[in-house]
Amino acid sequence: MRTSPSAGGRHEVECYVAALNVTGIPGGLYHYNPLTHALELLDDSFGPEEIGELTYTQRQCCECSFLCLTTVVSERLAWKYRHPRAYRLWMYDAGHYGQTFALVCTALGLGPFQTAAFRDTGLEAALNLDGDSEFAAYMLGAGLVHDSGGAYKLPRDYNFPPPYNIR
C-alpha cells in the first residue's frame, strides 16, 4: 500500500520531518512512523538555524514550511541483496520517494524542492543515527511561495487537512 516502488518490497527509506511553519504542528524535528501513521516528536528546539547549519545555509531549506529528511535502514535491503548493488538500490528507492514527493507537492501547489547538499554526519547526529545501520540519503522540502519572476517570497504556512497524528 505504498505510493513508490521499492527494491524487493523492503521499503528501507525512513522519513524524518522538520516542521518549520505548519499550522497545527508545533515546530521541531519528528520521525514519521508508518505503522501508526503518526509523527513522533524527537526535538522541539530543531528549527531554521539548525537547518541552515546542516544545509550550507541553502535559502530554500531555511525558508520552507517543512523538510522531509530521508534515511536508509541498510539491513532492510542488504539482508536480501548481499552485494554492492544494494547501495545502488537504496539510492533508487530514495529517488522514487523524491519523485512521488515532488509530484504530490506540485499538485498541492506547495513549491517542492530536493537537495543532496547537506552535512551527512551532522544530519545523522541530529537524528541520533550511527551512519552505518541507518544513514542520511536525501532532503525533500516544500512550502515555498514564488512570485511571477520565480523568486521566493515569504514561507508558506500550509494547513494539513486532518486527521494527522502527533505524539
For residue range 47-80, what is the model confidence (pLDDT) as tens digits? 999 999 999 999 899 989 999 999 988 766 666 6
Tell me if 32 is assigned to some domain. yes
Interval 99-110: pLDDT, tens:
999 999 888 888
Tell me if 156 is assigned to some domain. yes
Tell me if 2 is assigned to some domain. no
Structural domain count, the chain: 1
**pLDDT value of position 155:** 46
Tell me if 96 is assigned to some domain. yes
CATH at residue 145: 3.40.109.10
pLDDT at 1 over 50: yes
Tell me if 6 is assigned to some domain. no
- Tell me the residue range of the domain where 65 lies: 13-166
DSSP 75: H
Tell me if 159 is assigned to some domain. yes
- List, in sequence order, every beta strand (DSSP E) within the chain: 13-19, 22-23, 28-33, 38-43, 66-73, 113-115, 134-142, 158-159, 165-166
Torsion sign, CA atoms 106, 112, 114, 120: negative
